[in-house]
Amino acid sequence: MPSNKRKTVFISGSAYEYGRFGDEGKDFIRDLSKTLLHHGFKIISGFGYGVGNHVLEGALDEIYLEQKEKLTDQLRVFPFPLMNGLTDSIHTHYRDDMISQAGTAIFLFGNKLEDIAVRQADGMKKEFEIARSYQALLIPVGASGYISEQLWKDLVDRYDDYFDNREKFEWYERLGDPAARPDQLIDAILQIAQDHE
């Protein structure tokens, strides 16, 4: 995969709640966006509930205040349409079109409010499989819980099915450490994403 595509990151996530992070989950998302852009990555966001707005805030802070660059060169946002009148097939095509543009995919949280209860956001599993079908570098942040934790556990348990070598295995293990601080998780994400040609 061309390195310029690998440097385009799709951030998949939804969060009605932030689990063990509490409100620091919002700062974690903002700081992750800022760090990725600072290191030369571009971001694609599906603007998932409770995640997309914080991706945007971090991106705006980095692009306008730090880099003084154009927003459209570094961030692409694809607000996800509501189901009203749209078929599952259209949703699948929309996800596919959005994710196909990225060479790296990061997965955060993965929960939603449904029928007055917090439930797993199954759409994230679909996005993971689409990203895998395009041979994107998959980075589920298990420590953020919910669907991301399930995806992380599967990836670590079946690591050799996903990767040719174990060069980044310890960084992936760190992504699931419930005691890891947000800055440690961001560092692990960066270590995995950088120089992974």
Count of alpha carbons within 13 Å of 20, Cβ hemisphere only? 14
**Main-chain dihedrals φ then ψ at residue 18, nearest 5 degrees:** -110, 20
Q: Where are the alpha helices (DSSP H) in 61-122?
A: 88-99
Q: Give how far the C-alpha of residue 32 lies from the chain's centroid of Cα atoms, to the nearest Å.
A: 10
DSSP state of 163: -
Average pLDDT over residues 165-178: 96
Crossing angle of helices 123-133 and 88-99, rounded to 10°: 50
Confidence of residue 148 (pLDDT cuts 50, 70, 90): very high
* Token pair 């199954």: residue: 122
What pLDDT, on the 0 to 100 scale, is given for residue 73?
A: 81
pLDDT score for 197 = 46
Collapsed DSSP state (helix, strand, coil) of residue 14: strand
% of the chain beyond a pLDDT of 70: 93
Global confidence as pTM: 0.94
Given a cut of 90, whether residue 89 has pLDDT beyond it is no
User: Which domains does the chain show, CATH number per domain?
Assistant: 3-193 (3.40.50.450)
Q: How many CA atoms lie within 13 A of 90 on its CB side?
A: 8
CA distances from 161 to 132, 156, 164, 166, 190 (A): 12, 10, 8, 11, 22
Can you give the pLDDT at residue 55? 96
